A and B are shown apart, each in its own frame.
Chain A
């Protein structure tokens, strides 16, 4: 399953860090962050609960970049 989320982040390098952090989160198969459109596209693993996973993704992103937000 793929979902797209709106995000807020200040710099392109930070967006790359968020992408790495999101990819490392359990339940996430693949994630792509586009700084230009401020969107995060997440592909979940089968059977994962998107909301629960996204909580964790946000927590992981906050760790690498304090100033970020994911809207879900």
Chain B
């Protein structure tokens, strides 16, 4: 009860009062006489529960907004009252219960709707409640809470355990672990120490941190993410626009149909000499009006999309508008940029081949001989060797530019470099067919095998591609500037269907355009990039997905969907969430339109009473709202 707003409590009070009064009146109904006393008594609960509807309807008419749902309810219930009065005056037993109950039920429905929407609004905002309202700074040895907007770049803020980091910055003191799940959806805590960059929105779990801010509050990650999500709801999808257009035409059409139903059949019947039964047709017309309220659709479709956006962002997938949610659901082709998306974007030793020595020994010699080089290859060799380099072992290092290094390590003559180096020193090496950079090694004039260094695919890439295919994506394509050999190997390992190699950045846009032309009908294409120099492609594709893009403004600007971390599995997740959301929206549209259509027919035939009509209306609305909220929850189950 406490969670209701003042407005909702007031309506609830009115509903209960009116319901109790109606119950009492129903019990003493037969003793009420004459008819006008009875009418007046029934009007009391009617007005208690419906006065605001009547006022709104009157207000609407005064301002040229005739056909709204308030007007419909007033006309329908007033019509029902009128029919009852007519019946009573003609000696039949008229009942006012129906008119009052219809108004009552309508208000119950509205109240439920308002509570349900309020709840989901709150739970979605809680998901997004990643931005704290205060920051702590130290003044004269004391902790002071200030408005984070007032904290300048370069100030030192203090974040205690359990608090959210308000502003992006660098840790200068203390170490702790951070819960980044609000930003990335990643549940493993990240440990930080002095020198680590931290993003706002993360929760500090264990130790006190002193952070030197590197951005203003408004420019910090948490603020930007919130802006993005809040603005998302304003980019409306086609379904939402369809519904608001539909409501604009549907209500007047049903009103006209109701009017026709009240007039035409009685006139025809009168002309053919039968009993016109005017009142019965008026009653049917009123039933028509009750059914004509489109609230179930009008409320549940935007709610579905909002819940879908909320659900996606809690998984670390930020979708910049419900229109993109819709497009994402239609994606059948996913195009990847290779580096940083499928692969990690850093180079590692992936193999040691044809070596008579142990792999470790070969790596030790190669790492030592290359140790003075600043080339990334040298770094990856050192990393693969894993132990510290002993500089005392190295003698007579000679670097041959573009070929490699020759030197003495631990008393052995070691040469490490490409095939040209091997030819230069007259050693026959076995050319390697593996993709990547190959370092051939010769020790004491003998060929000792080679080391393969390549960019590795992300551990989750294979699963990501499999998930995409399972989610209904027909075609996956990888674009890269690398050689065909490397591209083929990566594509094969990750399970990607096609690749285009040797592309310059500008070629990628052309390639994506070609692929878009070849996709059929409503199939859409998504491009996934890491946001580094692929902004034009992100913007050109039907849906641009930027991954691991937090902190890269250009990518966030150009992309339609932003993955908060760099896990490619999230792409399939995003597609599944959007599919589910669209499915729910379709279910709601079809379900409520079918029920309405059936009720309209039954009402016109005189089978459905007004009771049934309002129950159907409220019932459909409740079911649709509950169904809509599904888009927010159990995303874990899919």
Give residues in A with beta carbon < 8 Å to B: 4, 10-13, 16-17, 32-39, 41, 63-64, 66-67
Return the 4 tightest CB-CB contacts between A and B, nearest first: A36-B306, A34-B233, A32-B234, A63-B63
Establish whether residues A12 and B230, one from each chain, have CB atoms under 8 Å apart when the complex forms.
Answer: no
Once bound together, how far apart are the Cα atoms of A17 and B60, in whole Å? 11
Establish whether residues B230 and A39, one from each chain, have CB atoms under 8 Å apart when the complex forms.
Answer: yes
Establish whether residues B56 and A37, one from each chain, have CB atoms under 8 Å apart when the complex forms.
Answer: no
Once bound together, how far apart are the Cα atoms of A35 and B300, in whole Å? 11
Give residues in B with beta carbon < 8 Å to A: 7, 55-56, 59-60, 63, 65, 68-69, 110, 113-114, 117, 121, 124, 230-231, 233-236, 244, 247, 294-295, 298-299, 302-303, 305-306
Establish whether residues A41 and B244, one from each chain, have CB atoms under 8 Å apart when the complex forms.
Answer: no
Cβ–Cβ < 8 Å partners of A36 in chain B: 117, 121, 124, 233, 302-303, 305-306
Which secondary structure characterizes the binding site on chain B?
Answer: helix
User: Which of B7, B56, B299 is within 8 Å of A66, CB to CB?
Assistant: B56
Establish whether residues A39 and B234, one from each chain, have CB atoms under 8 Å apart when the complex forms.
Answer: yes
Shortest Cβ distance from residue A30 to the other chain B in the assembled complex, whole angstroms: 10
**CB nearest to B124 among chain A residues:** A36
Establish whether residues B244 and A16, one from each chain, have CB atoms under 8 Å apart when the complex forms.
Answer: yes
Once bound together, how far apart are the Cα atoms of A32 and B322, in whole Å? 13
**With A41-B234, A66-B59 in contact, do A13 and B121 touch (Cβ < 8 Å)?**
no
Cβ–Cβ < 8 Å partners of A66 in chain B: 55-56, 59
Cβ–Cβ < 8 Å partners of A13 in chain B: 68-69, 244, 247, 294-295, 298
Shortest Cβ distance from residue B119 to the other chain A in the assembled complex, whole angstroms: 12
Establish whether residues A32 and B56, one from each chain, have CB atoms under 8 Å apart when the complex forms.
Answer: no
**With A34-B233, A39-B234 in contact, do A64 and B65 touch (Cβ < 8 Å)?**
yes
**CB nearest to B69 among chain A residues:** A13
Shortest Cβ distance from residue A11 to the other chain B in the assembled complex, whole angstroms: 7
A sample of 14 cross-chain residue pairs with beta-carbon separation below 8 angstroms, ordered by A number, consists of A11-B295, A11-B298, A11-B299, A13-B294, A16-B244, A17-B65, A17-B68, A35-B302, A36-B117, A36-B303, A36-B305, A37-B121, A37-B230, A64-B65
**CB nearest to B303 among chain A residues:** A36
**With A66-B55, A66-B59 in contact, do A32 and B114 touch (Cβ < 8 Å)?**
no
Once bound together, how far apart are the Cα atoms of A1 and B550, in whole Å? 26
Establish whether residues B299 and A12, one from each chain, have CB atoms under 8 Å apart when the complex forms.
Answer: yes
Shortest Cβ distance from residue A35 to the other chain B in the assembled complex, whole angstroms: 6
Establish whether residues B114 and A10, one from each chain, have CB atoms under 8 Å apart when the complex forms.
Answer: yes
Cβ–Cβ < 8 Å partners of A10 in chain B: 7, 110, 114
User: Which of A11, A39, A67 is within 8 Å of B113, CB to CB?
Assistant: A11
Shortest Cβ distance from residue B12 to the other chain A in the assembled complex, whole angstroms: 14
User: Which of A12, A32, A39, A41 is within 8 Å of B302, CB to CB?
Assistant: A12
Residue with the highest number of chain B CB atoms closer than 10 Å, among A4, A10, A37: A37
Shortest Cβ distance from residue B155 to the other chain A in the assembled complex, whole angstroms: 27
Once bound together, how far apart are the Cα atoms of A63 and B56, in whole Å? 10
Cβ–Cβ < 8 Å partners of B7 in chain A: 10
Cβ–Cβ < 8 Å partners of A39 in chain B: 230, 233-234
Shortest Cβ distance from residue B621 to the other chain A in the assembled complex, whole angstroms: 11
Establish whether residues B236 and A12, one from each chain, have CB atoms under 8 Å apart when the complex forms.
Answer: no
Cβ–Cβ < 8 Å partners of A67 in chain B: 56
Cβ–Cβ < 8 Å partners of A17 in chain B: 65, 68
Shortest Cβ distance from residue A20 to the other chain B in the assembled complex, whole angstroms: 9
**CB nearest to B128 among chain A residues:** A37
Once bound together, how far apart are the Cα atoms of A16 and B244, in whole Å? 7
Cβ–Cβ < 8 Å partners of B121 in chain A: 36-38
Cβ–Cβ < 8 Å partners of B231 in chain A: 4, 41
Cβ–Cβ < 8 Å partners of A38 in chain B: 121
**CB nearest to B235 among chain A residues:** A32
Cβ–Cβ < 8 Å partners of B233 in chain A: 34, 36-37, 39
Once bound together, how far apart are the Cα atoms of A32 and B233, in whole Å? 10
Shortest Cβ distance from residue A28 to the other chain B in the assembled complex, whole angstroms: 15
Shortest Cβ distance from residue A15 to the other chain B in the assembled complex, whole angstroms: 8
Shortest Cβ distance from residue B86 to the other chain A in the assembled complex, whole angstroms: 32
**With A32-B236, A34-B233 in contact, do A12 and B298 touch (Cβ < 8 Å)?**
yes
Shortest Cβ distance from residue B448 to the other chain A in the assembled complex, whole angstroms: 65
Shortest Cβ distance from residue B551 to the other chain A in the assembled complex, whole angstroms: 24
**With A11-B113, A36-B306, A37-B230 in contact, do A64 and B299 touch (Cβ < 8 Å)?**
no
Once bound together, how far apart are the Cα atoms of A36 and B628, in whole Å? 13
Once bound together, how far apart are the Cα atoms of A33 and B69, in whole Å? 20
Once bound together, how far apart are the Cα atoms of A29 and B294, in whole Å? 29
Once bound together, how far apart are the Cα atoms of A32 and B298, in whole Å? 16
Shortest Cβ distance from residue B632 to the other chain A in the assembled complex, whole angstroms: 11
Once bound together, how far apart are the Cα atoms of A4 and B56, in whole Å? 27
Once bound together, how far apart are the Cα atoms of A33 and B295, in whole Å? 17
Cβ–Cβ < 8 Å partners of A11 in chain B: 110, 113-114, 295, 298-299
Establish whether residues A64 and B63, one from each chain, have CB atoms under 8 Å apart when the complex forms.
Answer: yes
Once bound together, how far apart are the Cα atoms of A67 and B55, in whole Å? 11
Cβ–Cβ < 8 Å partners of A37 in chain B: 121, 230, 233-234, 306
Once bound together, how far apart are the Cα atoms of A34 and B294, in whole Å? 18
**CB nearest to A13 among chain B residues:** B298
Once bound together, how far apart are the Cα atoms of A55 and B107, in whole Å? 31
**CB nearest to B309 among chain A residues:** A36
Cβ–Cβ < 8 Å partners of A34 in chain B: 233-234, 302
Cβ–Cβ < 8 Å partners of A35 in chain B: 117, 302
**CB nearest to B307 among chain A residues:** A36
